Structure 1
Amino acid sequence: METREIEVSKEPFLAMAVLCERVLEEKDGVLSLIRIVDRLVHAAGPEGPEEMPAILAKLVMVLGFKSGAVHGKRTVTVRLVDPANEVKGEWTFPVLFEGEDKGANLIINMSLKLEKEGLHWFDVMLEKKLVTRVPLRVVYMRVVSESSQKTTTQSTQA
């Protein structure tokens, strides 16, 4: 039987990085993530503005790390980058790693003001080194009913 020969990281392992609507944490520390999301659709009626107005979104980011060979405190930073590549928010958290399979979960409640349609990224960094990116696509839709479409078509032809 072969033995596994790979170089093991000297950094903590990322076990999960997720956006969701709610997190339940049981007394034993087990997490249940409710409604995992990577897309928000903002709908407006036919009279809605051409460009998406700013929307407020309440989301929870859950980050789970496993210590591996690491012992001690580290800093985790989450940075929100909008579709124009502008940084719109940054959150920093101290995390204690105790080695081996012991983990550290971060549950980050966020109230976000999203001003642009398109792909937003949450950059997750450990000691200023990028560990992963979590996407959030924001879609703006003007909903036009069938009757208002007819009205629009008729007025365009007149």
Structure 2
Amino acid sequence: MPDEPQQSSPRLHGPYLQLAAICENVIEDRSGVLSLIRVIDRITFTALGPGEFDLQAVEIPLYAVVAFVSGDARGRHDLSLSLRGPDDLVRTRLTVPVLLEGDDRGARAIVRFPFRPDQEGVYWIDVALDERPFTRMPLRVFLGQVVAG
């Protein structure tokens, strides 16, 4: 039986999202390889006694790490990260320039942002390139209390 012609996959043009993660630390070695330390999607705050949580006093240093592979995309682009609270209001929006050089060349951003939750629930970091949404990263905040006895 003769070989049937293979169908080619539809041509995608790029850029392509390679990585999007929230972590506590990032290490970049001399060759440019990244190690993401403690990739997280939830945080639990625990009070040791009765009373209200003062979340406004809490600041957690986190990193958002985003990487793209260019494909056919070239040139300078704006990468934006928008932190949305459980009420869907934007708390923080950061924009950083990235350079896409085409083909398998990529661009990445390591963005440190101080996370200050103001309520329990799921926070989202929306990732967009030139205002085009690419993905969302969840970060759930739990409030707990240790009860003695």
Length-normalised TM-score, structure 1: 0.86
- Partner Cα distance (1:8, 1:120) in 2: 34
Provide the aligned length of Structure 1 versus Structure 2: 145
Q: Which residue of 2 aligns with 1:94?
A: 97
The one-letter code of the counterpart of 2:59 is L
- Partner Cα distance (2:33, 2:7) in 1: 31
2:14 to 11, 14, 18: 11
2:106 to 94, 103, 116: 103
Judge which range, 55-64 or 7-16, deviates more.
7-16
- Partner Cα distance (1:48, 1:12) in 2: 49
| RMSD (Å) for aligned C-alpha atoms | 1.5
> Where in structure 1 do 4 or more consecutive aligned residues deviate above 3 Å?
1-4
Report the CA distance between 1:140 and its aligned residue: 0.5
Unaligned runs of 5+ in 1: 148-158
Report the CA distance between 1:52 and its aligned residue: 5.7
Deviations 1:10-37 (A, max 9, x none): 3310001000011000111100011100
Higher helix share: 1
- Partner Cα distance (1:7, 1:19) in 2: 31
Q: Which residue of 1 aligns with 2:128?
A: 125
- Partner Cα distance (1:34, 1:89) in 2: 23
- Partner Cα distance (2:101, 2:140) in 1: 35
Q: Which residue of 2 aligns with 1:140?
A: 143
Report % sequence identity. Answer: 35
Report the CA distance between 1:6 and its aligned residue: 2.4
The one-letter code of the counterpart of 2:143 is Y
- Partner Cα distance (1:60, 1:120) in 2: 14
Length-normalised TM-score, structure 2: 0.91
Unaligned runs of 5+ in 2: none
- Partner Cα distance (1:41, 1:19) in 2: 15
Q: Which residue of 2 aligns with 1:53?
A: 55
The one-letter code of the counterpart of 1:53 is L
Question: 2:3 aligned with 1:39, yes or no?
Answer: no
State which structure, 1 or 2, has the greater radius of gyration over its C-alpha atoms.
Answer: 1
Q: Which residue of 2 aligns with 1:66?
A: 69
Q: Which residue of 2 aligns with 1:20?
A: 23
